[in-house]
Amino acid sequence: MLAVMDLQVHYGGIAAVKGVSFAVEKGETVALIGANGAGKTSTLKALARLLAGYVTTGSIRLAGEEISTLAPHQLIGKGLALVPEGRGVFARLSVAENLTMGAYSRHDKSEIAADLAHIYDLLPRLKERQRQLAGTLSGGEQQMLALGRALMGRPSLLLLDEPSMGLAPLMVQKVFETIRAVAATGVTILLVEQNAKLALETAGRGYVMESGRITLADSAAGLLADPRVRQAYLGE
Amino acid sequence: MSSRFSYRKYIGVTLVALALLALPFALSAAGTAWVRIANLAILFVFLSLGLNIVVGFAGLLDLGYVAFYGVGAYVYALLASPHFGLHLPFWVILPIGASVAAIFGVLLGTPTLKLRGDYLAIVTLGFGEIVRIFLNNLSQPINITNGPQGIAQIDPIRVGGISFGQTDLFFGLSVSGPMKHYYLLLLLLLLVIVVNLRLQNSRIGRAWEAIREDEVAARAIGIDTTRVKLLAFAMGATFGGVAGGMFSSIQGFISPESFVLTESVMILAMVVLGGMGNIWGVIVGALLLSFVPELLRYTVVPLQLALFDKMLVEPEVIRMLLFGMALVLMMRFRPAGLWPLGARQREFSIDKAAK
């Protein structure tokens, strides 16, 4: 589904991503883990075409089509949705408005209504709060809202940027339960996460990034068992 | 229940309409100056609604908005005055002025696409000053704007055989020039409000809301932020251009002095005071900040004379003092404006109370 070849990102003279290649197959959940500053978020931003002002090279193919030359707003039409770092909900709009806004690129009204109902089933907390302003939700609820909003665009590939960031441990568990539930509906997910344990427990496969390069690639179980991962990222 | 409500609403709208139609007659009883003040107030409502598109809807802080007002005014003045010997009718010039202003909007928007907040404010402020300085200096080598002397003898509006520059009798009622302007402005205002309401509830309106709240997220859901931002600048500028054209024709004389930074700040204050993003709030803000200073002008002097038998403080000084105090108090106690956008929030608290 997604094939990245030799992706590089340079901020001025600094190379943040130094040529990474990886793939995500249809229906799987893949985790991209690593320490702060390893280049995970830069990789994801490059995929979402949010680094237009910087030098990015390499090839990004989505379902065989090169997307590295598209503008960011065109990606949702190709089936790629991003849940940005720090959630980015529309704070002064209601929960329901946030969700319908997620379907901005679509024009199939009845289908949109059906999807909204489906998302309320998947995320009942959002249904309870549908008229509340998004800015008044708790961090975890906002993360769920951002997830729901992205799903309203009917993506085939969902990019999640640090969904656990800034959340209380209990809420992190809840958010990851939701991510698993979304994955179970057949959406392909690329998950960028610092919390390596949770990410690998959620994903089927994983890549480890270190200073701009992918240094390990294995099944999630394999990575969880790998002594290097255990020592560096699981605190053992 | 609902039919009674709409019946009430109908009566309310009719009463407001009648009051607005009768207003210039009441005002001219107090002096034609008050009709002129009302006209200027309506122009400021135009300007505030235009700026509200940029600042309130799209969340882009613009401190150079008066530039578009100036562009519209000068387009009108150049095409309908002895300066170039051109005397085009107003319904031809007004769209031209609006379009030229829109082009200027895009000119301002393009280099500032990546800027937000403070940085955007600085660039837009600079833009406003650049336009003013150009107006001030484009008298050489070719005399285009006539420099600081400004342009005089601008044609009054003429519809059919009726000139807006003089008093006429209609059905035994004497209708002065300013009163005619008032009715024309009222008509335009209705149009401007309808356009604004439609814009707010449109797809573009929702896109503006999205980029105001979070630009990255807006892009992620498929909004072409570049196009939508430029559209906000262009639409806002269009209203400024129309207001400028009307100003030109009403005043008959314009000079760069009318398009200074303080005007931009005043319009922004109207938008913020009224309630950014809420069309009705912005209208209230514009009317308040247009009328209250004028009321003070007419009350401060007599009041001082009555109390102290002499004038201690110039009315202009008191005006600015009260204006400043009002703004400070507003920002302290009602930071979202007199009539803020958060109607939804109230709905929610009502729901909660009902449970």
DSSP line for B244-272: HHHHHHHHS-B-GGGG-HHHHHHHHHHHH
How far off is chain B from A183, nearest CA to CA, in Å? Answer: 20
Answer for the pair B177, B164: CB distance below 8 angstroms, yes or no.
yes
Query: Which of A74, A77, A101 is closest, CB to CB, to B210?
Result: A101
- ipTM score of complex: 0.88
Q: What is the pLDDT of residue B1?
A: 45
Distances (CA, A) of A206 to A81, A187, B57: 20, 17, 42
How far off is chain B from A53, nearest CA to CA, in Å? Answer: 10
| Element containing residue A96 per DSSP (H, E) | helix A95-102
- Residue A128: Cβ within 10 Å count: 12
CA separation for the pair B125, B234 (Å, rounded): 17
Instruction: Give B46-68 pLDDT, tens digit per residue.
Output: 999 999 999 999 999 999 999 99
Q: What is the pLDDT of residue B347?
A: 43
Residue B343: both structure tokens together: 């109607």
Nearest of A220, A229, A185 to residue A201 by alpha carbon: A220
Domain ranges of chain B: 7-354
Nearest CA in chain A to B342: A92
| Stretch A18-25: mean pLDDT | 94
Q: What is the mean pLDDT of chain A?
A: 91
Contacts A105 to B, Cβ<8 Å: 221-222
Residues of A with CB under 8 A from a CB of B: 48, 50, 53, 71-77, 81-84, 88-94, 101-102, 104-105, 131-133, 146, 149-150, 152-153
Residue B291: both structure tokens together: 């009328």
User: Quick check: A89 and B214 CB within 8 A?
Assistant: yes
- Which residues have CB under 8 Å from A95's CB, separation 6+? A126, A129, A130, A131, A132, A133, A134, A137, A145
Instruction: Sort B85 into a burial class: Cβ within 10 Å, 0-12 / 13-18 / 19+.
Output: exposed
3-state DSSP call for residue B335? Answer: coil
Q: What is the pLDDT of residue B3?
A: 55
> If you search the block for the tokens 């997910």, which residue do you land on?
A189
User: What CATH number matches the domain at B7-354, 1.10.287, 1.10.150, 2.40.50, 1.10.3470?
Assistant: 1.10.3470
User: Quick check: B217 and A50 CB within 8 A?
Assistant: no
Q: What is the pLDDT of residue A67?
A: 92
- Residue A57: Cβ within 10 Å count: 13
Nearest CA in chain B to A94: B344
Instruction: Give B252-269 pLDDT, tens digit per residue.
Output: 999 999 999 999 999 999
Q: Which amino acid is at B208?
A: W
Which positions of chain B have pLDDT values less than 50?
Answer: 1-2, 343-355
Instruction: Give A58-67 pLDDT, tens digit per residue.
Output: 999 999 999 9
User: Quick check: B344 and A94 CB within 8 A?
Assistant: yes
Strand pairing class (A157-161; A188-193): parallel
CA separation for the pair A149, B336 (Å, rounded): 27
Nearest of B261, B341, B345 to residue B56 by alpha carbon: B341
Instruction: Sort B142 into a burial class: Cβ within 10 Å, 0-12 / 13-18 / 19+.
Output: exposed
Query: Which of A82, A102, A131 is closest, CB to CB, to B347?
Result: A131
Query: Which of B216, B345, B348 is closest, CB to CB, to A50?
Result: B216
- Which residues have CB under 8 Å from B159's CB, separation 6+? B184
Instruction: Give B302-317 pLDDT, tens digit per residue.
Output: 888 888 887 777 777 8
Number of residues assigned to chain A: 236
Locate the DSSP E strands across A116-156: none
Cβ of B344 under 8 Å from any chain A Cβ?
A: yes
A10 φ/ψ angles, rounded to the nearest 5 degrees:
-120, 125
> If you search the block for the tokens 């928007």, which residue do you land on?
B109
| Element containing residue A112 per DSSP (H, E) | helix A109-122
| Stretch A28-49: mean pLDDT | 92
Nearest CA in chain B to A130: B348
Nearest of B132, B157, B143 to residue B254 by alpha carbon: B132
A222 φ/ψ angles, rounded to the nearest 5 degrees:
-60, -45
- Residue B10: Cβ within 10 Å count: 10
Instruction: Give A92-136 pLDDT, tens digit per residue.
Output: 899 999 999 999 998 888 899 999 999 999 999 999 999 999 999
CA separation for the pair B239, B165 (Å, rounded): 24
User: Quick check: A84 and B344 CB within 8 A?
Assistant: no
Number of A/B CB contacts below 8 angstroms equals: 81
User: Quick check: A88 and B220 CB within 8 A?
Assistant: yes
Strand pairing class (A188-193; A205-210): unpaired
User: Quick check: A92 and B347 CB within 8 A?
Assistant: no
How far off is chain A from B163, nearest CA to CA, in Å? Answer: 48
Contacts A73 to B, Cβ<8 Å: 219, 222-225
DSSP-derived secondary structure letter, B82:
T
Residue to substitute from A73, A80, A98, A158, interface B, most B β-carbons within 10 A: A73
CA separation for the pair A25, A23 (Å, rounded): 6
User: Quick check: A73 and B223 CB within 8 A?
Assistant: yes
Contacts B207 to A, Cβ<8 Å: 104
Contacts B222 to A, Cβ<8 Å: 73-77, 104-105, 153
Contacts A50 to B, Cβ<8 Å: 216, 219
CA separation for the pair B145, B126 (Å, rounded): 20
Strand pairing class (A2-11; A14-24): antiparallel
Number of residues assigned to chain B: 355
